[in-house]
Amino acid sequence: MDILVFDTADEVAAAVAGRIVDAVAARPDVVLGLPTGRTPIATYRALRRLHHAGHVNFARVTTFNLDEFAGITPGHPGSFRTFMDRHLFSEVNLAPGRIHFLDGAAPDLDAECVRYETAVDAAGGIGLQLLGIGSNGHIGFNEPGTELVTRTHRVHLAASTRRDNAALFGGDIANVPAEALSMGMGTILGAGTIVLIATGERKAQCVGSAVQGPLTTQLPASFLQLHRHVELYLDRPAASRL
């Protein structure tokens, strides 16, 4: 793993945005895997600015988001699709037809997972996968447990994850869907390069265990150790247990 540590979260965001700009310049039709959460917001802000300044052209880029809540429509204010529209999609020149999202309101959620996995394959796989990390070590919505599911699948969300995501649903955990759809760890590990962003002291312990601890389904991020090209972009607090 390449571990890059920066003084501030803003420096992390600038560096990751620069990393994405370089990836698009090297390969204008790159396939990006994208995360949600509070962590990448600053990165998306930096990317928007770079796009507005003419430093990056997304016209031929394809995107696949990692996950989505089940039981809500894409237009729901709490959906990850709405989050991405607000923080990135509405402000850059991605072609709508190249933006891929899981539909949490699909009538058959298992079929929806198969559709998504097939679409990732048809696009030639993910070239650059951007990741955040849950405070419990989850990746996408691959939660800690006794087993991990390899491919895109339905997930029962951990209570801590629903609490972490409550802000999207008016601050009330009761409003956070109990289920979600997520790329599997195998889908994620199939990416050419993985760039994980973590900022803040709250992530220090799971980052430390993910990098230095044993491989365990209790900490899905530990499986990133199996990948050849992982880059960690951390601020000092998030790197404090390394």
Selected from 58, 141, 169, 223, the binder of ligand GLP by CB under 6 A is 141
Residue 194: strand pairing partners: 129, 230
Residue 219: strand pairing partners: 216
Interface with ligand GLP: number of residues (CB under 6 A): 15
If you ran DSSP here, which 8-state letter would residue 176 be given?
S
Under rule CB under 6 A, residue 127 binds ligand GLP: no
Which residue among 136, 142, 153, 165 is the active-site one? 136
Under rule CB under 6 A, residue 161 binds ligand GLP: yes
How far, CA to CA in Å, does 15 sit from each of 140, 232, 239? Answer: 22, 11, 16
Active site residue 91: no
Q: Which of residues 40-99 bind ligand GLP (CB under 6 A)?
A: 66-67
Selected from 33, 35, 104, 220, the binder of ligand GLP by CB under 6 A is 35
Sequence-separated (6 or more) residues with CB below 8 Å from residue 23: 30, 32, 127, 128, 193
Q: CB 159 → ligand GLP: shortest distance, Å?
A: 13
Under rule CB under 6 A, residue 140 binds ligand GLP: yes
Alpha helices (H) in 123-168, listed in sequence order = 159-164
Return the active site residues: 67, 136, 138, 143
